[in-house]
Structure 1
């Protein structure tokens, strides 16, 4: 499908006034505030306290983390940035005004810190795998979305490391990234700097080593028993392209959204297109390695599996699936062709077909902590588990499906087949998708299933439950901070910062934006709607305003806005899409025509609140909503999905539409 879709960071549209946008005014009174609205605003207040306490405990005045050691391997850059990965997202949702400059200060402070530790060159990772680089960049992507003008030049420079073949990372003729560990230092090669991969004993027990076909059949490889492993890993796994590198497409898509430069679109379509072709040729499952000659398996004895962070080691579907969906979504957005999603669809369907119904406690899972937190008591009941990994001995490492990946597909496409895949997974699982557990996984996600049930109309209590779970997550993290205040973190424990980061955004993203949490290993935001505070001229919900998206169908995206403030008017711009990419065709909204509903002062009770539905024509990606004190409004938006340019420009930017 040929596309005329462009990016437009500054499209040159003349700014218009707020009241020149399609405008509706709320007139339905708030007499008994809905519990979800009160809980949502309470969560914003708690998060404002939480990020400040984390910063006071673990960071220096320049924004860097309190760390006095050195880093002895290539690992660690992601752990420094991940401590703040979702802080810009909280600002975009409606967090405090000073949260954005705080997040920017932490990025700069951590970048200086990591440069001094020898981990960065020109502000960018010298060379490491994209499982970790994708995690590191989430903070940058959020800053670009929140303040595109300030971050454009830096983000574009990072993308050029891959788009410009002269930088040594990309072979344009073969459409491959030249090595698994890549970045700003073209001289960094292989996978490690010592004699073997620095695998901890516990990780070796969980994941084993790749190349399990090299030792004598029937024996488990280990670095002590087989001295060949280090050299063989460096030679076979340390060069050529790997599936995890598809996450680079997120970095390049970010540059495309910032600039509209067609070079970035062409690169995404060329690189991801190469992986799509290889997937087709491999029977519908994405291979995880391509040799320096451009041939799948040429460095692994013809095997399509076994590459670095691929199907055999260490995480399989968990890592490959996220990288593939980042790449596929980038190509779908840049090329306006959802056919690119097929490389993920066919891979998922292939793996699901290999699934088994069994008890999780009896499975050979290499991620038991995650699985048990997710399943709870259902770990003892038969449920559908799918294999995450593949080697010469076949499929193994059975786990529950990581539903963030099929959820991201369905959210983007809205296709019947993508929805049916989720419905089939739900029907085949032995656990109730409506259950909300107060856990927080590494991605600060994991509640896609009860949210999906809510959107399908059979989990009405979800907003209250997920907001309660978010409160529990924040309060647990605050307790952990109190238990480990100002600790001198050793290198082995640098995950402490991300494990105590008390900012949670999953619940607010789902409920207010109507979108899933970002794909953690390098994805960009997904949202059905976003908001801008018209009076403060910044992104996010205004103070005292709560929002709830209860349906995300393009023909009827339903959301409610509530102004809990009894004295102040709030003005909100509703934006269609994370990047203003949708157009609002029509707006249906609730209205209270009876201005005498309070009754007289002789009455003991107000009159019944009567509401009617009104309609308004839309134009473009923005709708202005005025919320007088103590009012609410339900909006039903008919959207023309992805009918406009993708842009970070908001309604108050020179390239946007509205001014005060």
Structure 2
């Protein structure tokens, strides 16, 4: 059979002809990781979940916070399914979504299957799970209906959450119940006795008689601060609301309804115009009349989850990047990425090199522990927050954001920004650090070094790490086979044994979705053409070795000794990219040679190039065969869409 023809459904078809002579270690580790993960999620489910999928919990819920914490333990289960996890993982994920939704409805936190009303820093964390299910099974009519209904909570002004005249989401806390005034009972007073918030300091720094944290031990001052927070932080729009664009973009990906696409563009454009009026830097607060600083004496800083409190760059840059990515999906144009570039460049321009990275910032200790940076090591620090006295709260540069900018554009400028951060990073970018956090990120440096050809051992190192991450979580689960102690609703997040950061990087050539509500993108995604489902077929391993402006280099290996596999290779997470050309290796004669020969021959290969002109192609992998491909890709050549793989099912080659 020739190495290139058309598959039965009309897609271009490539046949692998190179036998597996030396089994790649990365491929073995990758398939081992899939196996262990599919064992681990079943154990988590059996240990901590009820028959309907809810988490077993007998404690109380407090204030308005908590919905996200019940969805988060499952957020990346559909991600694993889409990568190639077990067939029953998707129905299990849907069961847990339904069970948690019912559980939260009983607590009064969810109405009509959606959060009654809370901030988008946390709503984004809740919705990662929902978005991943929609992407994994776009043919599910019930989830499609939910996606459209949820999006209209914001795109339809009649729902009360959006003011089209002022172009604002009208409150920091919004949802299926409409805008919820204030910040809830949690902040009726803001006391220094709330010790968990001490690291973040004063929510508002302009109240007479309240100059530092100690002043909040006064009951009167604590109540005055609470009143001001309810009035000034609890009204109007805030930058973190930009994460709502993912909810609407997710709906747009089904049918490209103008009501959704136009809303995303209009809302993001409104924030970009405000940034332009602020010298390019996105402000964090818009008053009820649509005016920047209306509730903060004209200041561009001070809003809820904004530049001043509590996390600064950590929340504002995440929302700006999420919005810029969503606008790029809808328009196909990366021109709007300055919404996320300028905040990053602004804080980097204020950077200093210091030796106290672990102790100087409100969140620095965790970074130093994860990166194994000892005291005394010089590290470039940037200010995360801005108040009346200027920039403050120094932390290491968060690499995930410059990585996303470079990943989206492959431009020399975005690569240069990223590479400039390696000096004084405080650690060797090529070293794979052994840690995991709930956001499934943090290993950007060694991965980027690998893609740039500077860290060839990363796949093996990272997959060994991922297996170690699962082993630790399983050990923690087995040591604590009971509900959360002290009603700690964050407890299950730390035990979720499904780890997908490394698989996402190596298999799809992309960073994981931004944790506070980003959609998952990819350079390539895969489907099983014989079974009509997303993900790598059993026994097949994939590795994106290079990714640049012109395309990707991809290896596929079929480790199965008996059965052939048919792999659909798709450019982009939503088939938004076009494969223009493929160059792949084709084996000549000479393998396996004569049985009288003692040597195991190394098959000769030659490159073959052919035109494609489609977002998809099918690769046939005979047993114990491999293929290396260079895919020449035009990015954002087509309108992205939720697309399944059922219609690509083919008959096995005979």
Q: Which TM-score band (shorter chain)?
A: over 0.9
Q: 1:5 maps to what in 2?
A: none
- Whether contact under 8 Å (1:257, 1:646) holds in the other structure is yes
Query: Which region of structure 1 is more displaced relative to structure 2, 131-140 or 336-345?
Result: 336-345
Q: 1:116 maps to what in 2?
A: 106
- Whether contact under 8 Å (1:236, 1:300) holds in the other structure is yes
Q: 1:541 maps to what in 2?
A: 536
- Whether contact under 8 Å (1:405, 1:519) holds in the other structure is no
Q: 1:261 maps to what in 2?
A: 257
- Whether contact under 8 Å (1:21, 1:658) holds in the other structure is no
Question: In the TM superposition, what whole-angstrom CA distance separates every residue of 1:327-353 from its partner, at most 9, and x where no partner exists?
Answer: 111112112221111111111101110
- Whether contact under 8 Å (1:196, 1:223) holds in the other structure is no
Q: 2:150 maps to what in 1?
A: 158
C-alpha change, 1:539 and 1:205, in structure 2 (3 Å) is same
Q: 1:6 maps to what in 2?
A: none
Q: 2:3 maps to what in 1?
A: none
Q: Quote the Cα distance in structure 1 between the aligned partners of 2:20 and 2:598.
A: 18
Output the aligned Cα RMSD.
1.6
Q: Quote the Cα distance in structure 1 between the aligned partners of 2:82 and 2:193.
A: 38
Q: 2:168 maps to what in 1?
A: 176
Q: 1:396 maps to what in 2?
A: 392
Question: In the TM superposition, what whole-angstrom CA distance separates every residue of 1:77-133 from its partner, at most 9, and x where no partner exists?
Answer: 000000100000000000000000000000000000000001011111111110000
Q: Choose the corresponding residue for 1:585, options 574, 580, 588.
A: 580
- Whether contact under 8 Å (1:311, 1:317) holds in the other structure is yes
Q: 1:129 maps to what in 2?
A: 119
List gaps (5 residues or longer) in structure 1: 1-15
Q: 1:513 maps to what in 2?
A: 508
Q: Quote the Cα distance in structure 2 between the aligned partners of 1:85 and 1:310.
A: 25
1:629 aligns with 2:619: no
Q: 1:205 maps to what in 2?
A: 198
- Whether contact under 8 Å (1:587, 1:616) holds in the other structure is yes
Q: 2:36 maps to what in 1?
A: 46
Q: Quote the Cα distance in structure 2 between the aligned partners of 1:217 and 1:599.
A: 84
C-alpha change, 1:451 and 1:69, in structure 2 (3 Å) is same
Q: 2:59 maps to what in 1?
A: 69
TM-score with structure 1 setting the length:
0.94
Q: How many residues align?
A: 640
1:90 aligns with 2:80: yes
Q: Quote the Cα distance in structure 1 between the aligned partners of 2:78 and 2:450.
A: 27
Counterpart of 1:543 in 2: which secondary structure? coil
Q: Quote the Cα distance in structure 2 between the aligned partners of 1:304 and 1:199.
A: 26
Q: Choose the corresponding residue for 2:302, options 270, 286, 306.
A: 306
- Whether contact under 8 Å (1:584, 1:638) holds in the other structure is yes
1:193 aligns with 2:193: no
Q: 1:141 maps to what in 2?
A: 131
Q: Choose the corresponding residue for 2:494, options 490, 496, 499.
A: 499
Q: 1:376 maps to what in 2?
A: 372
Q: 1:565 maps to what in 2?
A: 560
Counterpart of 1:639 in 2: which secondary structure? strand
Deviation, structure 1 residue 218: 4.4
C-alpha change, 1:187 and 1:251, in structure 2 (3 Å) is closer
C-alpha change, 1:107 and 1:296, in structure 2 (3 Å) is same
Query: Which region of structure 1 is more displaced relative to structure 2, 137-146 or 605-614?
Result: 605-614
Q: Quote the Cα distance in structure 1 between the aligned partners of 2:455 and 2:600.
A: 32
Counterpart of 2:108 in 1: which secondary structure? coil
Deviation, structure 1 residue 370: 2.3
Question: In the TM superposition, what whole-angstrom CA distance separates every residue of 1:237-273 from its partner, at most 9, and x where no partner exists?
Answer: 1000000000000111101101210111110111000
Q: 1:244 maps to what in 2?
A: 240
Q: Quote the Cα distance in structure 1 between the aligned partners of 2:144 and 2:625.
A: 39
Q: Quote the Cα distance in structure 2 between the aligned partners of 1:389 and 1:401.
A: 13
